[in-house]
A and B are shown apart, each in its own frame.
Chain A
Amino acid sequence: MINVLADFGRAGIRAVGGLGRASVLLTAMLAGLWELIRRPRLLLEQVYSVGTLTMIIIAVSGLFVGMALALQGFYILSQFGAEATLGVMVAAALVRELGPVLTALLFAGRAGSALTAEIGLMKATEQLAGLEMMAVNPVRRVLTPRLFAGVLALPLLAALFSALGVLGGWYVGVGLLGVDDGTFWAQMQAKVDWYEDIINGLIKSLAFGFACTWIAVYQGYDCVPTSEGVSRATTRTVVHSALAVLGLNVMLTALMFGN
């Protein structure tokens, strides 16, 4: 009985301790922003690895998600004779919810896990300690560019996802199911608002990008420096990122569209 209680307490202390270490790491990374501005090359390299290399999977997923949405939406809307609103349904669902959320989940799986594994291996092979020996701050040199690359890349990836999703929905709706081309776009433009829908979606994906990269970088930096520790940290990155994204999404949706 006492043991169970003690285990519970230990788990709580570990969770709070992890949050504290993550916050300290975040302040240390933000302190490196000035160095990053002076050396934008570091940022560009990281944008390539988290952004450009993730682009293909995001583009293909967006296309497929848009197509599936249009097929399902058409099935339900046609029962009410409201096929004309198919465009609104596809576009609103994508820019408000599916674009930011699915992009963040894919990002966590594709780029977040890679970040954790990379930083964890750097730690395991004592490259981070080596940098410190050369009087280079490893947090500022290695972690800061990765954090900002993720924050920068995710909104662009989410925009790509939504845009291709709309095109996929358009192809299925107009091309295959015979919805009128004009009404598809006209209804969409009439109902989807630039500030209300698209800017809010971008704000969401900024928040998700920040959360995902922060978790990935922290897990890599904080992992046990063995091969098993790195693999555990990589798993934790994906699980924690997915939970953080979905939880944040509920809160942000309630704040943005809740009234």
Chain B
Amino acid sequence: MSMEFLVEVNGKIYEISELVKSVSYTDKLNDGCSKLEFSYIDDDLNIQNGSVVRFKFNGANIFYGYVFKHGQNKAKEITVTAYDQLRYCKAKDTIVVKNDTIDSLVRKMCNYFGLRAGSLASTGYKLPVSVQDDKTWLDIIYSAIDDTLTNTGRWYCLRDEFGSIAVRDLQDLQLDLVLGDESFAYDYEYEKSIDDDFYNQIKIVSDNEDTGKRDVYITKDSDSIAKYGLLQYFEVLDKNYNPAQAKAKADALLQLYNREVETLELKCLGDVRVRAGSSFYGQIEDISLNKRLIVKSVTHEFIPVHTMSLEVML
């Protein structure tokens, strides 16, 4: 195990890997910036907000970001929280999205805040014209990602990769890695529920300009209703959908919601390649799991032994 832990304080760079007591790195899929929390013991080195932190583990680039919080106690243990560049994108703004794609929006954002941009996958999908008034840049881009997903079926993630902002197709983030019973995992928690976000009948109401009144569209899965009881989803569409579109929307919603929600959390030995958005092959015999899974969030702990806990999408 080798670590390289650099911090820049007042123009000087210090290597503190010998002093660090704990390091944890948290990353979430399309949900804000990634975060590095660490603590160290030292009399002389007073880290400051805004200091640059760079962390490498076994030669792999893990984190490059800026200190946003630090504190200490009587035992001279100093705790620090640092975020990556996306922290700066929480700022609100008003923009009009027109002839834009995800990558062009991200490029605008980087220019505006003076952030370093890295590899921006070109998505090729022109976003619908919209007004984004008084919204955070992150929300604007996440809603662009949602639009692109529903219209093209391609899923992208926005993240900071060691100091440069990147847009990646999740297809390109597949790892040749197996996690499960016999491979790296030492604990897991699994749950299957119909308590939240489960519906087997969809009822959609939409204004019809031709008839001058509201139309109702219902679609349902009778087998599922017999099994679980009737659970209805209701929505009034705000945009003008024509009958075919409304019907299609109801069918799509039924597809989406008519399945038991499964959640899985895994605790494994660490692998530096795993970030939110990457996918690996999951194998757990007891819950007959045998497929590729996307990481929703991950926390790496590097001291004393590199471990990680994952929340995945099933």
Question: Is B a genuine binding partner of A?
Answer: no
User: Which residues on B are within 8 Å of A, measured CB to CB?
Assistant: none
User: Which residues on A are within 8 Å of B, measured CB to CB?
Assistant: none
